[in-house]
Amino acid sequence: MRKQVLTCIGCPMGCEITVSLDGESILSVEGNTCDIGDKYARKEVIHPERTVTSTVVVTGGDKPRLSVKTASAIPKEKIWKCMEEINHLSVTAPVRIGDILIPDTAGTGIPVVATRNIQGV
């Protein structure tokens, strides 16, 4: 049996949560003060995911860079591949919030989308 200690990021409380595991089986979750912490801890120790945020270069726009993010969380082990794809991307203005810039980042099926409007010049 092993124990993993986490600081919950599910709500502002920041509970210290201890998860007891036997291989990949969760035996117990302790220290959380709400259900969000329990759900977070169970997911974090078995299949951690993150939403990736970054920026890309814009040509012909009223701003030189565009903020982007994955439309939802992706597996943590895919973050570097996702960032490689984002770093190779440049867009041409105009761009609208929600425009899909990479339809399937890092083979996850999750798109990278624009998070602001950029007007053409």
Burial class (CB in 10 A: 0-12, 13-18, 19+), 113: middle
> Do residues 58 and 95 lie in contact, with contact meaning Cβ atoms separated by under 8 Å?
yes
Q: What's the confidence (pLDDT) of residue 24?
A: 87
60 inside domain = yes
Alpha carbons 93 and 86: distance in angstroms, whole number:
17
Residue 62 lies in a domain: yes
Enter the pTM of the model. Answer: 0.84
Same domain, 57 and 43: no
Q: Which residue has the tokens 């200690």?
A: 5
102 and 79 belong to one structural domain: yes
pLDDT along the chain (121 residues), means of 10: 94 95 94 95 95 98 97 97 97 98 98 98 91
In this structure, the answer to whether residues 64 and 25 fall within a common structural domain is no
Structure token pair of residue 44? 């974090």
Cβ–Cβ < 8 Å for 37, 8: yes
Are 11 and 43 found together in one domain?
Answer: yes
Same domain, 82 and 101: yes
The residue among 31, 47, 63 that closes a domain is: 47
Residue 67 and residue 99 share a domain: yes
Number of domains in the chain: 2
| Separation between Cα atoms, residue 36 and residue 15, nearest integer Å | 10
Residue 62: what pLDDT? 96
Residue 119 lies in a domain: no
Residue 14's domain comprises 2-47
Where helices occur in 35-117 by DSSP H, the ranges are 35-46, 79-87
The answer to whether residues 42 and 57 belong to one domain is no
